Each structure stands twice: as C-alpha cells, then as structure tokens.
C-alpha cells in the first residue's frame, strides 16, 4: 500500500489513474480547484477501495499555496510515496499569439506551477530517501508548432525540467516518470473534432500505471506517439517552419 498526493485530481486522466490505484487499497490526498468536482472524485475513489486522507481545494496557479499543501499532506499521510502532477489547461492559441498577459498566465499554470510542485516533492522525498514523482507533460512539448506553441513551450519546459530532476534524484532512490500523452478524450479537448488518434483517459491511465510499476522514465501514451513524434522531430527546421501545423 502506498500514499499518493495527486495534484489536479479532478482531471479525467488523474481520476482514472486514482480509480486503478484505489483497487490496491492505496491512500490518497486529492488536490483540485473545484470543491464540488473534488468531493465527487473523492467519493468515487472511496467506493472503489481507496482510502481518502483528504481532499484539498487550491488554485495551483497560485504558487504561494504549494508549501501549505505539502505540509498538510505530510501531516495527514506521514510519508508521501508518490506525487502525481496532472493539472493543466489547453490555452486559446490565437489569444496567446497577441495577449502576452494571458500567455504568461497560461504558461504559469502549465509549467511554473508544475516545476514548483516538482521541487517541493523532491525536497519532501529526499527527507525520507525514497519516492516517485509522476508528471503529465504532452507530445506537444516535443516541437513548437504555430497552432499550439504556448502550450507546447510550457510542456517542453516541464519535459526538460523533470528530465534534469530525474537525473538529480536518481542517486537518492527517487524516481521521476514523465508522461507524454497524445490526444486524449477529456474535458480539455471536448471542443476538438475527434479522430482515430484520440485515446480514452482510462487507456492512458492504465498505460501510466504500468509505467509506474515498471519504473519507466518517459511514457508516450498511447505508445505510437513515440514514433509519430520521432518523425516530427526529424523534419529539418528549414522545412518545418513552412508547414501549417
């Protein structure tokens, strides 16, 4: 049995992951922004066998809340075995092209807040000399494209930061898993037309659980995105910049 601290617990992917973990009788602190949604998720996880040690409401864009959230989690869980960082937004790309304040606000939710939580999780886990950090990035972070480079830039920052954190924490017995989903059918993408590339949140969650159990470093979910993104990365910049992507 393990103790989990899940940020963005109301996210469709995080909820599905918690449902899978609940079957193992694990213990959870759930953190979400919307108290109503959060209590529904907590009740759902509880009926599936999960032990809910707390459901904490916080706007994670407000980094000043992070310290108290970890203190509360430590008090209620004792040791925090695993921190999952799952919150995020899909910015309005057109607005972000010309509204710098909006762009930076969205960057902060998707990158800065995840980095803050990653640093605090590492400090917490170094104290006990073990643990796992799971962060949800995106295939969008693999290359900047005109249609979503603000979101991609934030996820790219998350990717590099947590890669470095993985390297730093390796000798401390702390594992870092970076998840890079492709398109997932969740509220975040509700406005997008669906096609065969979309995966269900439950499929992605079961991929994540498998990667956690195997202590994988990076997970493309589903698997085929590894090869799609390899091709995307291999296109020379001189050609890539002319594409309408």
Chain residues that interact with ligand NAP, rule: CB under 6 A: 8, 10-13, 32-34, 37, 59-61, 86-89, 109, 136, 138, 181, 183-184, 186-189, 201
Name the minimum Å distance from CB 163 to ligand NAP.
17
Closest approach of Cβ 215 to ligand NAP, in Å?
21
Closest to ligand NAP by CB, 46 or 189: 189
CB 203 to ligand NAP: min, Å: 12
In the bound complex, what is the minimum distance in angstroms from residue 207's beta carbon to ligand NAP? 12
CB of 15 to ligand NAP, least distance (A): 8
- Name which of 13 and 169 has its Cβ closer to ligand NAP: 13
Cα 191 to Cα 205: distance, rounded to the nearest angstrom = 21
Closer residue to ligand NAP (CB): 13 or 29: 13
Specify the residue, 3 or 138, whose C-beta has the smaller distance to ligand NAP: 138
For the purposes of burial, counting CB atoms within 10 Å of the CB of 51, is it exposed (0-12), middle (13-18) or buried (19 or more)?
middle
The answer to whether the CB of 41 falls within 8 A of the CB of 19 is no
Which residue number, 86 or 115, has a Cβ lying nearer to ligand NAP? Answer: 86
């Amino acid at each position: 049995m393990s103790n989990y601290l899940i940020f963005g617990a109301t996210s469709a992917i995080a909820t599905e992951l918690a449902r899978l973990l609940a079957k193992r009788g694990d213990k959870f602190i759930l953190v979400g922004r919307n108290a109503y949604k959060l209590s529904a998720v907590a009740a759902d996880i509880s009926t599936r066998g999960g032990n809910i040690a707390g459901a904490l409401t916080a706007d994670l864009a407000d980094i000043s809340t992070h310290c108290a959230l970890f203190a509360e989690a430590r008090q209620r869980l004792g040791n925090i075995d695993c921190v999952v960082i799952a919150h995020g937004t899909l910015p309005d790309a057109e607005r972000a092209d010309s509204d710098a304040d909006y762009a930076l606000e969205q960057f902060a939710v998707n990158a800065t807040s995840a980095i803050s939580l990653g640093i605090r999780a590492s400090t917490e886990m170094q104290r006990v000399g073990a643990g796992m950090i799971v962060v949800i990035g995106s295939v969008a972070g693999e290359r900047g494209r005109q249609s979503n480079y603000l979101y991609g830039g934030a996820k790219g920052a998350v990717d590099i930061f947590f890669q470095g954190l993985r390297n730093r924490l390796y000798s401390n017995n702390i594992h870092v898993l970076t998840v890079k989903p492709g398109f997932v059918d969740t509220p975040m993408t509700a406005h997008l037309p669906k096609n065969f590339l979309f995966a269900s949140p439950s499929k992605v969650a079961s991929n994540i659980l498998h990667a956690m159990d195997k202590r994988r470093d990076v997970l493309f979910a589903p698997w085929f995105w590894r090869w799609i993104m390899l091709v995307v990365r291999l296109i020379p910049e001189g050609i890539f910049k002319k594409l309408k992507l």
